[in-house]
Amino acid sequence: RIVTGPNNERIIMSPSGDITYPETLIHEFVWNNSERYPNHIALECGINGQKYTFAQAKDATSYIGRSLRNIGLKKGDVVALVAPNFPDTILSFLGILSGGFTVTTVNPMYTAEEMMTQLLKANAKAVITSTSVASTALAAKRACLSHETPFIVIDDKTGSMPEGSIPFSDLITRGKSLPPVNSDTTCDDVAILPFSSGTTGLPKGVMLRHRNLVSNIMMVQSSVDIFQFPTSTFQEVVPAILPFFHIYGMNAVILPRLAFGAKIITIPKFVPEIFTDILQKNKVTALFCVPPIVLFLTASSLVKNHHFDHVHLIMSGAAPLAKTDVDRFYEKYNVDSKICQFRQGYGLTESSPVNFIELGEKYSSIGKNIASCQVRLVDVTTQKDVSTSGQTGELWIKGPHVMKGYLNDEDATKNTLTEDGWLKTGDIAYYDEDFDFYITDRLKELIKVKGFQVPPAELEALLRMHPDVEEAAVIGIPHERYGEVPKAFVVVKKSKNPMENDIKNFIKGKVSDYKQLRGGITFVDNIPKNPSGKILRSKLKQSYKP
Ligand code: 4UU
């Protein structure tokens, strides 16, 4: 299992071995098997019932790509996709890729200011959104992009089409009579630009190539062999509650499940009654969750035993899973843990995303590295590989799924990717005697609220814009339901005396709900810093006792 590298690195190889994967573009890979079951449902809206079969979805994707070329976009242009989970959101994504463009997925819960930052950084040349969030997306577009920038709107049956927008349905109907796109895209071209703050600072575009996305799907598939292709009487049914804009919902749930023939039921927003209604009406076979949803399954009286009658997998990821929550699940429901299995995955945007999956019953572990995922654990102070089980170090990752780098940010790329291709995750871990891994801490500043990224640097920059604030530092503190929430430490200017609520309100309209300072604000005399001015977050964390 351990291989010594050229510079004496201690490389922990995957017990699942290495994989080969096809030289296929991700949008083609998704439909690779679809001719075996063209009339099965691929995508269905959990709210309004809109449906596409595999044949319809595949064709629509191609038409969308043609139409986007036809309205003047050029190969390699970036298209921003700002929409909650709907069938048309996923078709837009695949359509953008089939036209030879790059997609940047934007959180539809964002404020106009947050959207604008991403549109600018990604240099978006068109926006695809949906009626429910179109007014915010339009405000963002107007504030930073030229008047002629195409603004395409999916009719999600809530809200209206802003004037001057292109109806999404036109892309499909008009594309039919356009010539197919002959894009010379290769597997080494950048397919997507999801945003992540990485180990430090503000969100950055993560350049993921077609190769990264396809290889990661195959790495997971060859390590976890539990999904079945459709037959005339069976099809996997997967509710898509995790948002598509985030890499977990995208390349660990929706795209791989489509590629292997599952029916995806899209859910635009987590509403307990809607979620359980979908469990009630469909023979759901797999549930992909973040820990707060696992908590919901164990705690809500809306969830019934028979909802799990067909479920063979409950997957959790994006934040630490508590073993007690899994235990509570099996105590509450009369389900066999061998048939309805809990799994924990560990991933990050920068690795397309999956690196580890737990396959046994060690529910607090992230398990073993998946096929073709090489791992190192590097001592934070000595920068030497740790040599035994139980010792902690920073988790480093290598494989075909690791990003190309951060868009237009050489410094951040250099600090995250070593010259020989290792991705420094910023997570602290150890492994036990079976080489099962455990995440113990986060070296990086990132805060995870309900599995979503909250970069402290973003909140600190906003806090410093308040007229009474001299300095600010933000850390994550534990929260029962959300996992973590942001808490601020603020130094006020001389002779100023703001109230906590003044500052909270100042932040309120500027960032999305999950980034709000739910951990409160503590006024302090100074912020602990190292000699070069870097905030000593560990000191702040120690000083804060819940
Ligand atoms: C403790 O959250 C993600 C990706 C999650 C994912 C995807 C596919 C999980 C399982 C899966 O199968 O990406 P980001 O970029 O938003 O956040 C990455 C960070 C990690 O560096 C780590 O700090 O989120 C944290 N994280 C976890 N922490 C992710 N998964 C876990 C986990 N336990 N299981």
Quick one: which of 463, 468, 443, 441 has its CA closest to 517?
463
For the residues 261-270, what does the mean pLDDT come to? 98
- What φ, ψ does residue 256 adopt, rounded to 5°? -65, -40
What local confidence, expressed as pLDDT, does residue 542 receive?
A: 87
Q: Once rounded to an integer, what is the mean pLDDT over residues 29-42?
A: 97
Nearest atom within ligand 1 for CA of residue 252? 8
Among the atoms of ligand 1, which is closest to the Cα of residue 439?
1
Termini Cα distance of the chain: 41
For ligand 1, say whether the CB of 349 is within 6 Å of any of its atoms: yes
Q: Is the CB of 317 under 6 A from ligand 1?
A: yes
Query: How is the beta sheet containing 10-12 ordered, strand by strand?
Result: 2-4, 10-12, 374-378, 393-398, 423-431, 437-442
Arithmetic mean of pLDDT, 386-411: 97
Nearest CA to ligand 1 atom 19: 348
pTM: 0.97
Cα 222 to Cα 157: distance, rounded to the nearest angstrom: 39
Q: 376 by DSSP, 3-state: which?
A: strand
Residue 414, both tokens: 């250099």
Neighbour-count burial for 314-348, b at 16+ CB within 10 Å, e otherwise: bbbbbbbbeeebbebbbeebebeeeebbbbbbbbb
Task: Report, as an integer, the average pLDDT of 267-286.
Answer: 97
Q: Which of 348, 425, 514 to mutate to test the pocket of ligand 1 (most atoms within 8 A of CB)?
A: 348
Whether residue 353 has its Cβ less than 6 Å from ligand 1: yes
Q: What pLDDT is recorded for position 225?
A: 81
Whether ipTM exceeds 0.90 = yes
352 in contact with ligand 1, CB cutoff 6 A: no
Nearest atom (ligand 1) to Cα of 316 = 10
Query: From the CB of 168, is ligand 1 less than 6 Å away?
Result: no
What is the pLDDT confidence band of residue 247, given thresholds at 50, 70 and 90?
A: very high
Ligand 1 proximity of 320 Cβ (cutoff 6 Å): yes
Per-residue confidence band for 367, with pLDDT thresholds at 50, 70 and 90? very high
pLDDT of residue 182: 87
Ligand 1 centroid to residue 427 C-alpha, Å: 10
Sign of CA dihedral 414, 416, 417, 418: positive
Distance 489 CA to ligand 1 centre (A): 26
- Percentage of the chain lying above the pLDDT 90 cut: 97
Q: How far apart are CA 477 and CA 197, in angstroms?
A: 18
**Over 70: is that where the pLDDT of 546 sits?**
no
Q: Could you tell me if the CB of 443 is within 6 A of ligand 1?
A: no
For atom 13 of ligand 1, which residue has the closest CA?
Answer: 348
Ligand 1: centre distance to CA 346 (Å):
5
Give the pLDDT confidence score for residue 277 in this predicted structure.
97
Tell whether ligand 1 has an atom less than 6 A from the beta carbon of residue 425: yes
- Is the pLDDT reported for residue 545 higher than 90? no
- Residue 502: the pLDDT is 96
What ligand 1 atom has the least distance to the C-alpha of 315? 12
- The alpha carbon of 347 and the centre of ligand 1 are apart by a number of angstroms equal to 4
Q: How far is the CA of 349 from the centre of ligand 1 (A)?
A: 8
pLDDT band at 544 (very low <50, low <70, confident <90, very high): confident
Decide if pLDDT at 226 tops 90: no
The answer to whether the CB of 111 is under 6 A from ligand 1 is no
Report the percentage of the chain scoring pLDDT > 70: 100
- In short, whether 354's Cβ falls inside 6 Å of ligand 1 is yes
Give the pLDDT mean for 191-196. 98
pLDDT at 122 over 80: yes
Ligand 1 pocket, 346 CB below 6 A?
yes
